[in-house]
């Protein structure tokens, strides 16, 4: 017979129910076990209650189903055996209105099958017993919720300490009353805290950790077979659990404890999340590399000198703005994760992300993106400008994503020094006014659209008209002339690379 499925409700100690003075319940048969629990109360007068039980119940009966010829004991033997087979936790027998006393054969059967038998006095109703069970259950649920909440707070506090990984393991071991072990990607034990289990348990926990550790990967980098993120086992009286940390990092959290309640699983899961964050950077070394790159930049190194620490040769710069509100830190981090890069900068109204060029930047729901052309470290400032202008075009055109067009054009046919000298001379009248220069560039890129230019620059359309008119006056030229527009666009393109 398979083990019964216990209902997913917090257990109530049978001793706590017997301690209720208002019920006056009394155990008259079966083992007296302080650890015995019930999951709910169920009333049935069926001769065979097996089909109606889920397991873990206190079954209440007044003996209406008992035939007059049941004194021999065969009836009660079969009745109790079916309750035990269904996983019933205890039997409550009411003394009224059918029976004045509990049948002796029933007492003997409960002793034989080790089923606790509870005598329910006449003044106590079955509904009163059920209500008491639910009241105790609500108290247990509240206590468990409080225990889990306190454990979450203590684990979060441990994660902020100078030695976060050992602190989290110690706190977890204390909360579950057992041992917590952190295994490395190669299977070795990196840290442990709590009560040391026996050798058999320790070996079984190590084997269980291997079950959730990512296996071999294919040439494309994907696992050759699916791997579970958690697993459980039991050795002797010790419950084991293993949790894979992060997405394929290889770190595993192992827990060995004398019990495994839903609250213990929740607590261990919180610890696994925190350890995933703490170990994620150590696995790839990216966190230390980014810190090293930042320190070197602050101490005077150039971008090309630190690029090797970041793990890519060419990069694209992405500028992004959310549709409906200013970006926040959480949204910016989520965007960086979606684009595949932790190199995120949150400004007042835009998020900038430095993404390896081999990871294609794709449209993201709720965001407008501008993407630069691939650039090497010494070209990052120009790429940043490209991404900003691509974002402006995307917003003006109401596009999800616009990429900077880096295709070679006619400008490549002109010697760079001559092109730059021509651009500086042509744009000299407005060179000292970035607002005029950027307005003219945006207006030309949007084919002279006042409205879309206003959207791209986040100014009023009348402001655009005034600035363009000012440019025409200072440059002394007719901006309606296609040849003039082409020449200015050529010059502004050269100015972009300065």
CATH of residue 56's domain is 3.40.1390.20
Same domain for 356 and 270: no
Residue 166 belongs to domain with CATH number: 3.30.450.30
Domain count, the chain: 4
> Under a CB-based contact definition with an 8 Å cutoff, are residues 144 and 263 in contact?
yes
pLDDT in tens, 116-151: 999 999 999 999 999 999 999 888 888 888 988 999
Tally the residues of the chain: 498
> Where are any strands of DSSP class E within 207-331?
230-235, 238-244, 252-257, 315-322
Mean pLDDT across 299-324: 81
3-state secondary structure of 373: coil
- Establish if 294 belongs to a structural domain: no
Same domain for 109 and 174: no
Same domain for 176 and 115: no
Same domain for 443 and 390: no
Q: How far is CA 208 from CA 179, 230, 365, 368, in A?
A: 14, 9, 39, 45
Whole-angstrom Cα distance, residue 56 to residue 90? 8
pLDDT at 349: 82
Q: Residue 200: is its pLDDT beyond 60?
A: yes
- Establish if 386 belongs to a structural domain: yes
- Establish if 116 belongs to a structural domain: yes
- Establish if 223 belongs to a structural domain: no
| For residue 238, cis peptide bond before it (omega within 30 degrees of 0) | no
Domain hosting 181: range is 160-213+229-284
Boundary (domain end) residue, out of 284, 301, 326 = 284
Whole-angstrom Cα distance, residue 4 to residue 11? 15
- Tokens found for residue 1: 């017979």
Same domain for 124 and 16: yes
- Establish if 6 belongs to a structural domain: no
pLDDT in tens, 405-419: 755 555 555 566 777
Same domain for 421 and 395: no
- Establish if 293 belongs to a structural domain: no
Same domain for 113 and 46: yes
| 185-190: long-range pairs with CB below 8 Å, 24+ | 185/213, 185/249, 185/250, 185/251, 185/283, 186/250, 187/213, 190/165, 190/251
Same domain for 175 and 234: yes
Whole-angstrom Cα distance, residue 181 to residue 241? 10
Q: How far is CA 52 from CA 59, 66, 407, in A?
A: 10, 18, 75
Of 208, 194, 182, which Cα lies nearest the Cα of 257?
A: 194
Whole-angstrom Cα distance, residue 478 to residue 9? 80
Q: Residue 20: is its pLDDT beyond 90?
A: yes
Same domain for 341 and 265: no
Boundary (domain end) residue, out of 137, 171, 187 = 137
Of the CA atoms within 13 Å of residue 225, those in its CB half-sphere come to 6
Same domain for 423 and 381: no
Whole-angstrom Cα distance, residue 248 to residue 240? 21
Percent of the chain with pLDDT over 70: 87
When the pLDDT of each residue in the chain is averaged and rounded to a whole number, the result is 84
| 96-103: long-range pairs with CB below 8 Å, 24+ | 96/62, 96/122, 97/62, 98/62, 98/63, 98/64, 98/66, 99/62, 99/63, 99/66, 102/28, 103/63, 103/66, 103/70, 103/71, 103/76
Same domain for 83 and 120: yes
Same domain for 379 and 433: no
- Establish if 3 belongs to a structural domain: no
Boundary (domain end) residue, out of 381, 403, 425 = 403
Give helix 104-113 / helix 74-85 axis angle, nearest 10°. Answer: 40
Tell if the pTM clears 0.85, that is, is over it. no
- Establish if 297 belongs to a structural domain: no
């Amino acid at each position: 017979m398979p083990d019964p499925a216990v209902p997913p409700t917090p257990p109530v100690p049978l001793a706590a129910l017997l301690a209720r003075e208002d019920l006056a319940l009394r155990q008259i048969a079966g083992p007296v076990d302080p650890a015995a629990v019930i999951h709910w109360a169920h009333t049935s007068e069926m001769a065979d209650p097996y089909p109606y039980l889920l397991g873990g119940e206190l079954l209440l009966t007044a003996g209406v189903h008992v035939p007059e010829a049941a004194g021999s004991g065969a009836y009660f033997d079969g009745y109790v055996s079916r309750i035990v087979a269904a996983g019933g936790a205890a039997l409550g027998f009411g003394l009224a209105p059918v029976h004045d006393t509990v049948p002796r054969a029933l007492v003997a059967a409960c002793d034989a099958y080790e089923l606790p038998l509870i005598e329910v006095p006449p003044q106590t109703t079955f509904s009163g017993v059920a209500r008491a069970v639910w009241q105790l259950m609500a108290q247990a649920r509240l206590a468990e919720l409080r225990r889990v909440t306190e454990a979450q707070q203590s684990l979060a506090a441990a994660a902020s300490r100078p030695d976060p990984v050992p602190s989290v393991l110690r706190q977890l071991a204390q909360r579950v009353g057992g041992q917590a072990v952190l295994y490395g990607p190669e299977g070795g034990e990196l840290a442990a805290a709590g009560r040391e289990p026996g050798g058999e348990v320790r070996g079984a926990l190590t084997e269980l950790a291997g079950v959730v550790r990512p296996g071999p990967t294919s040439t494309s980098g994907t696992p050759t077979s699916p791997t579970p993120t958690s697993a459980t086992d039991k050795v002797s009286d010790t419950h084991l659990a293993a949790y894979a940390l992060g997405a394929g990092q290889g770190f595993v959290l192992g827990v060995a404890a004398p019990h495994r309640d839903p609250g213990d699983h929740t607590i261990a899961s919180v610890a696994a999340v925190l350890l995933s964050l703490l170990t994620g950077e150590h696995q790839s070394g990216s966190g230390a590399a980014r810190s090293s790159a930042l320190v070197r930049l602050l101490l005077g190194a150039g971008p090309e000198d630190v690029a090797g620490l970041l793990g890519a040769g060419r990069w694209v710069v992405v500028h992004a703005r959310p549709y409906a509100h200013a970006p926040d830190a959480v949204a910016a981090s989520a965007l960086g994760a979606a684009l595949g890069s932790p190199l995120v900068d949150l400004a007042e109204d835009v998020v900038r992300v430095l993404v390896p060029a081999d990871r294609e930047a794709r449209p993201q729901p709720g965001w407008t993106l501008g993407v630069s052309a691939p650039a090497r470290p010494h070209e990052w400032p120009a790429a940043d400008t490209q991404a900003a202008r691509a974002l402006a075009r995307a917003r003006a055109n109401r596009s999800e994503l616009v990429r900077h067009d880096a295709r070679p054009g006619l400008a490549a046919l002109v010697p760079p020094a001559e092109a730059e000298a021509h651009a500086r001379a042509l744009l000299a009248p407005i060179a000292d006014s970035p607002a005029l220069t950027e307005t003219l560039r945006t207006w030309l890129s949007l084919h002279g659209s006042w409205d879309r230019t206003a959207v791209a620059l986040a100014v009023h359309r009348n402001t655009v008209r005034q600035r363009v008119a000012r440019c025409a006056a200072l440059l002394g030229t007719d901006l309606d002339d296609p040849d003039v527009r082409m020449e200015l666009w050529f010059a502004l393109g050269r100015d972009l690379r300065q």
